[in-house]
């Protein structure tokens, strides 16, 4: 249990350290705090805070820096998100104000905006497609042997892929396949489609084609790509600013971590309604020991829920960051609702 004064001191330590990066000592605190006590008193309180594992020293006679637990306490109990700077609001609204023709453009643009605002690295995941349904499938013959497969979902997502057909296939046959898929699968959720694709469909398609597997593979490919959570990264290079003593190896593993599509869900953690903060070793991943991750979901009504996140050094100014993330999730949700409304009507 912390006294009021201890909280005040802890808050000041975190604030000061996140701002300056220098361990903060009793004297500086005494001068800075609103209450009027001597540095010796501060020292006593700091000893108590250290006792509880909330702050620590970098060496035996140094000032204090927050421990991970200290940051945690600060984030959970002491911080208040800063309201956005007018300037920041401007940036968001102009960057997001344009006319977009694809959801992906909005989401990827968002990653850039977020990284600019924070000067950290930002992630954006588009709303999950798990619940969206197949609304159309096309096969468009392009040349002698090339065909493009196009898949459309009811939420306006389009996924396509070109492939070669190994044998000569007639337009009629293609048509038949398309008709079959559209008859049987349209309206189902993507996971359901994927499942049927492995059971019912191969039998039926065999009527039209001798070796149907090729087609189904392609269709499956396009499908899984569409169903996969697609994520975007902004401000990759900002990570360079925080890799202390330029440890190339850890930088590399960091970069390969954030570029691997499959891992990202693991890294970000499960979605939650609140804005969530993960600090340093609270994340299991070794490469992230000196980083903090702020994640937040955004809801687009029946169109599902997506996620945004920023990754920065453990000593980030949390109040400002929480403010930005909180505001941005709202703006993004609004923008997407707008987009869908336009698209639906």
Number of residues that bind DNA (CB under 7 A): 26
Look up residue 24 and give its DSSP letter. B
* 150 lies in the site for its own copies, by CB under 8 A: yes
Q: Please identify which residue in 207, 210, 211, 246 interacts with its own copies, judged by CB under 8 A.
A: 246
Q: Please identify which residue in 46, 181, 293, 300 interacts with DNA, judged by CB under 7 A.
A: 46
- Which two tokens mark 258? 């954030």
Of 161, 164, 135, nearest to 150 by C-alpha is: 161
Q: Rounded to whole angstroms, how far apart are CA atoms 205 and 212?
A: 7
Number of residues that bind its own copies (CB under 8 A): 32
- Cα 267–270–274 angle (5° rounding)? 115
- Which two tokens mark 285? 């991943």
* 59 lies in the site for DNA, by CB under 7 A: yes
Beta-strand relationship, 158-164 and 231-234: unpaired
Q: Are 123 and 236 in contact (CB under 8 A)?
A: no
**Residue 31, contacted partner among DNA, its own copies, none, CB below 5-8 A by kind:** none
* 27 lies in the site for DNA, by CB under 7 A: yes
Q: Rounded to whole angstroms, how far apart are CA atoms 287 and 168?
A: 51
Binding mask 35-74 for its own copies (x = CB under 8 A): ----------------------------------------
Q: At what angle do helices 318-344 and 103-118 cross, to 10 degrees?
A: 160
- Which two tokens mark 42? 């501060």
Task: Single out the segment in contact with its own copies by CB under 8 A; choices: 15-23, 158-166, 198-206, 317-325.
Answer: 158-166
* 246 lies in the site for DNA, by CB under 7 A: no
C-beta closer to its own copies: residue 218 or 309: 218
Q: Are 25 and 82 in contact (CB under 8 A)?
A: no
Q: List residues near DNA by CB under 7 A.
A: 22-28, 36-41, 43-44, 46-47, 50, 57-64
Q: List residues near its own copies by CB under 8 A.
A: 101-102, 135-136, 138, 140, 142-143, 145-146, 148, 150, 152, 156, 158, 160, 162-164, 237, 240-241, 243, 245-246, 248, 251-252, 255-256, 342-343
């Amino acid at each position: 249990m912390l006294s009021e004064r201890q909280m005040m001191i802890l808050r000041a330590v975190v604030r000061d350290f996140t701002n300056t990066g220098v361990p903060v000592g009793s004297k500086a605190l005494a001068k800075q705090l609103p209450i009027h006590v001597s540095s010796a008193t501060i020292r006593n309180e700091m000893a108590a805070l250290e006792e509880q594992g909330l702050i620590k020293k970098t060496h035996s006679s140094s000032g204090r820096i927050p421990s991970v637990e200290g940051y945690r306490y600060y984030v959970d109990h002491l911080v208040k998100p800063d309201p956005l700077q007018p300037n920041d609001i401007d940036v968001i609204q102009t960057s997001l104000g344009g006319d977009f023709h694809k959801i992906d453009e909005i989401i990827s643009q968002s990653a850039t905006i977020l990284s600019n605002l924070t000067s950290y690295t930002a992630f954006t995941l588009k709303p999950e497609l798990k619940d969206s349904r197949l609304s159309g499938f096309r096969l468009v013959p392009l040349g002698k042997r090339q065909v493009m497969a196009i898949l459309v979902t009811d939420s306006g997502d389009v996924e396509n892929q070109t492939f070669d057909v190994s044998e000569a296939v007639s337009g009629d046959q293609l048509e038949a396949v398309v008709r079959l898929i559209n008859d049987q699968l349209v309206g189902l959720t993507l996971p359901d489609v994927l499942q049927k694709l492995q059971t019912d469909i191969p039998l039926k398609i065999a009527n039209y084609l001798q070796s149907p597997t090729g087609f189904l593979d392609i269709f499956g490919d396009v499908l899984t790509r569409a169903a996969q959570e697609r994520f975007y990264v902004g401000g990759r290079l900002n990570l360079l600013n925080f890799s202390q003593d330029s440890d190339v190896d850890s930088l590399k593993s960091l970069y390969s971590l954030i570029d691997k599509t499959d891992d990202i869900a693991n890294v970000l953690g499960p979605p939650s309604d609140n804005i969530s903060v993960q600090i340093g070793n609270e994340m299991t991943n070794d490469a992230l020991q000196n980083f903090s991750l702020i994640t937040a979901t955004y809801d687009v009504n029946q169109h599902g829920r997506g996620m945004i996140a920023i990754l920065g050094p453990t000593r980030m100014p949390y109040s400002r960051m929480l403010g930005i993330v909180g505001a941005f999730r709202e703006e993004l949700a609004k923008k997407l609702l707008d987009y869908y409304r336009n698209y639906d009507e």
